[in-house]
Amino acid sequence: MSITANAGDIDRRLLMDRSVAGRKAFTLPESDVPSQDLPDSSFLRDDVVLPEVSQLEVIRYFSVLSQLNFSIDTNFYPLGSCTMKYNPKINDELSNLPGLADIHPLQPDDTVQGAIRLLKNLQDDLGEITGLPGVSLAPLAGAQGEYAGLLIARAYHEAKNDSKRTVAIVPDSAHGTNPASAAMAGLDVVTVRSDDQGNVDVDNLRELANENTAVFMLTIPSTLGLFEPNILEITKIVHDAGGLVYADGANLNALLGLVKLVDLGVDICHSNLHKTFSTPHGGGGPGSGPVMVTDELAKFLPKPVAIQTEDGYALGTPEQSVGTINGFHGSFSIAARAFAYIKALGLEGLQSVSENAIISANYIQAKLRDKYNLAADRYCMHETVLSATKQKKRGVAGLDIAKRLLDFGIHAPTMYFPLIVDEALMVEPTESESKETLDHFIAVMRQIDDEIDASPELIHEAPHDLPVTRLDEATAARKPVLRWTADE
Amino acid sequence: MYPEELKYSKEHEWVRMNGNIAEVGVTVFAQESLGDVVFVDLPEEGSDVEQFAKFGEIESVKAVSDLFSPVGGKIVEVNSAATDAPEVVNEEPYGSGWLIKVELTDTAQLDELMDAATYQATLE
- Are the beta carbons of A473 and B86 separated by less than 8 Å? no
Coil, helix or strand for A35? coil
Buried b (16+ CB within 10 A) or exposed e, A222-232: bbbbbbbebbe
Strand bridging mode B21-26 / B100-104: antiparallel
Its pTM stands at: 0.89
In chain A, % of residues over pLDDT 90? 82
Residue range A8-54, pLDDT digits in tens: 777 888 899 999 999 998 888 999 999 988 888 888 888 888 899 99
Residue range A174-222, pLDDT digits in tens: 999 999 999 999 999 999 999 988 899 999 999 999 999 999 999 999 9
Residue A147: in which H helix or E strand, if any? helix A142-159
What mean pLDDT is reported for chain B? 94
- B33 close to A (CB below 8 A): yes
Residue range A417-464, pLDDT digits in tens: 998 899 999 999 999 999 999 999 999 999 999 999 999 999 999 999
Residue range A470-486, pLDDT digits in tens: 988 889 988 888 888 87
Residue range B8-41, pLDDT digits in tens: 999 999 999 999 999 999 999 999 989 999 999 9
Beta bridge partners of A167: A188, A213
Q: Which of B31, B62, B89 to mutate to test the interface with A (most CBs of A within 10 A)?
A: B62
Please give the Cα distance from A299 to A281 (Å, whole number): 31
Q: Which of A416, A425, A470, A472 to mutate to test the interface with B (most CBs of B within 10 A)?
A: A416
Residue A285 neighbours by CB under 8 Å, 6+ apart? A274, A279, A331, A334
- B36 close to A (CB below 8 A): yes
ipTM above 0.95, yes or no: no
Report the chain A residue with the minimal C-alpha distance to residue B90: A474
Of A399, A416, A478, which has the smallest distance from its Cβ to B38's Cβ? A478
Gap from B67 CA to chain A (nearest CA, Å): 15
What are the helix (H) ranges across A398-472? 398-407, 435-454, 456-460
What pLDDT is recorded for position A358? 98
- Are the beta carbons of A478 and B61 separated by less than 8 Å? no
> What domains sit in chain B, N to C, each tagged with a CATH number?
21-107 (2.40.50.100)
- B38 close to A (CB below 8 A): yes
Please give the Cα distance from A257 to A269 (Å, whole number): 16
> What domains sit in chain A, N to C, each tagged with a CATH number?
7-29+40-67 (no CATH), 89-345 (3.40.640.10), 356-478 (3.90.1150.10)
- B54 close to A (CB below 8 A): no
Report the chain A residue with the minimal C-alpha distance to residue B86: A478
Q: Are A282 and A126 in contact (CB under 8 A)?
A: no
- Are the beta carbons of A474 and B38 separated by less than 8 Å? yes
What pLDDT is recorded for position A1? 60
Please determine, for residue A355, whether its predicted confidence score (pLDDT) is greater than 80: yes
